[in-house]
Amino acid sequence: MPDLPDIPELIRLAVAARDRAYCPYSNHPVGAALVTDAGEVYTGCNVENAAYPLGSCAEQSAISAMVLGGGRAIRELVVVGPDDAPCTPCGGCRQRIREFAGPDTRVHACNERGVLLTVTLDELLPESFGPENLNQR
């Protein structure tokens, strides 16, 4: 299994993504950086539009970039919001993460200086519905 980038590097990448967010309606910029099981890193930022709230979350953007790049499994995820409060993924993003991550995948809510909160996907989305539920008879 490839080495993971260290958390400070993922935070740096998520902050750089956050700083490019387009959020004129919420004024809540968010950046995300994820690493796949192959050790590849993908980033994303939130993008809003005038038909608010029909936009894209940072996690959703990073997952889309991962899929476009051929990735299918999230090993670790960092999310950085606009301030020092932990910015955890919204409900929709929790389900999107669940599509590509296992119950032990770590999700880190961070600020520019470090990790504020770390949870597993199972803690973030307990008793979740996932792809394997559709394959059961």
Supply the residues annotated as catalytic.
59
Which residue carries 């008879």 as its tokens?
A: 137
Burial 95-120 (b: 16+ CB within 10 A, else e): ebbbebbeeebbbbbbbeeebbeeee
66 Cβ partners below 8 Å, 6+ apart? 34, 36, 40, 42, 72, 74, 100
Question: Is the separation of the CB atoms in 62 and 76 below 8 Å?
Answer: no
Structure tokens at 63: 């997952």
Q: Is the peptide bond before 53 cis (omega within 30 degrees of 0)?
A: yes
